[in-house]
Amino acid sequence: MDLNGVGSAGELLAQAERPSFEWAYVDETGDSGMSAGSSSTYILACVLVPADGWTQRLDVLTKMRRSIGKQYGVRLRDEIKANYLLRSRGDLKRYGLGDGQRRNIYQTHMKTLILVSSGVFAVVIDKRKMTKPRDPSEIAWKYLMQRLRERSTQSSVPIALVHDEGEDKKIKSLHRAFRRVSWDARGARVQAPYLVEDPISRKSDDSYFIQLADLCAYAAYRRIVPPDGRSGAVCNEKMWGELGSRVLAEVSTNRPDGIVHWPR
């Protein structure tokens, strides 16, 4: 696959196996509330993107979006997120796309991740199983940072965190504390020296990579909570499987699909 003369699919895949630096793009689905009426889960999805060939990877996404535009009329500047695809809302409302068309757009994004990403995983906090009043978002972020710490420490490859805007101060505070003091699986006190810089907040409508993380977050939700009836017309429990070999199985000891599910 030629990328406008700036690289090839083979080069991008090779770089993804041995990145020199990675961006971790993160977005969530669900809310962190514990009261009646709150979502049943809180989920973070992380899309790792090598800095090596980053511009070419963005070119791949742009090329994919142009293809979707030619097929369905969707503009490059339109935001594509799970909620918009599921219910034909937001920037996608004007196009009147059917379930099958929106499902195709979802699948196309997930399959493109195999080329542009070096790894994908998700943390699912299942509030239905929580027996003590704790903050689901804080638990999820700590689990996510633990996995990034393990990956970066084992590879000696720095990782910088980029997240959808919202709880910026909270995420920065958690990240700063975690970088200096955290605990490994054996209960030993460790640091996370390869988690570099403060987390960077981005508006999702300005970042194709954040939009990919949003789609992955909802796909992880449906992997854990399968839909019933027509609610799965656009995204069902099989959508997560479109990520193929890009899921990081090592993030969980009890699941092979790159999803950390807590409590079990």
Quick check: is 52 in a domain? yes
pTM of the model: 0.95
161 contacts 200 by C-beta, under 8 angstroms: yes
Q: What is the pLDDT of residues 68-97, one digit of tens each?
A: 999 999 999 999 999 999 999 999 999 999
What is residue 114's predicted lDDT score, i.e. its pLDDT?
96
The CATH number of the domain where 140 resides is what? 3.30.420.10
Lookup: tokens for 126: 């299942």
Quick check: is 201 in a domain? yes
Cα distance between residue 188 and residue 11, in whole Å: 39
Nearest to 130 by CA among 116, 141, 140, 122: 140
Quick check: is 4 in a domain? no
Cα distance between residue 46 and residue 57, in whole Å: 16
Give one word for 191, left, alpha or beta, with left for phi > 0 and alpha for psi -120 to 50: beta
* Residue at 102: amino acid letter: R
Handedness of CA 4, 49, 195, 140 (dihedral sign): positive
Q: pLDDT category, 35, cuts 50, 70, 90?
A: confident
**Looking at the predicted structure, is the pLDDT value of residue 184 above 90?**
no
Count: domains in the chain = 1
Average pLDDT over residues 176-183: 93
Beta-bridge partners for 28: 44
Domain that includes residue 229, residue range: 9-262
Quick check: is 2 in a domain? no
29 contacts 218 by C-beta, under 8 angstroms: yes
92 contacts 99 by C-beta, under 8 angstroms: no
**Looking at the predicted structure, is the pLDDT value of residue 9 above 70?**
yes
Q: In residues, how long is the chain? A: 264
Quick check: is 250 in a domain? yes
The helices-and-strands tally (H runs, E runs) of the chain is 7, 8
Quick check: is 154 in a domain? yes
pLDDT > 90 in the chain, percent: 89
Q: What is the pLDDT of residues 114-173, one digit of tens each?
A: 999 999 999 999 999 999 889 999 999 999 999 999 999 999 999 999 999 999 999 999
Lookup: tokens for 158: 């720095």
Q: pLDDT category, 261, cuts 50, 70, 90?
A: very high
Quick check: is 225 in a domain? yes
Average pLDDT over residues 209-227: 98
What is residue 4's predicted lDDT score, i.e. its pLDDT?
52
**Looking at the predicted structure, is the pLDDT value of residue 6 above 50?**
no
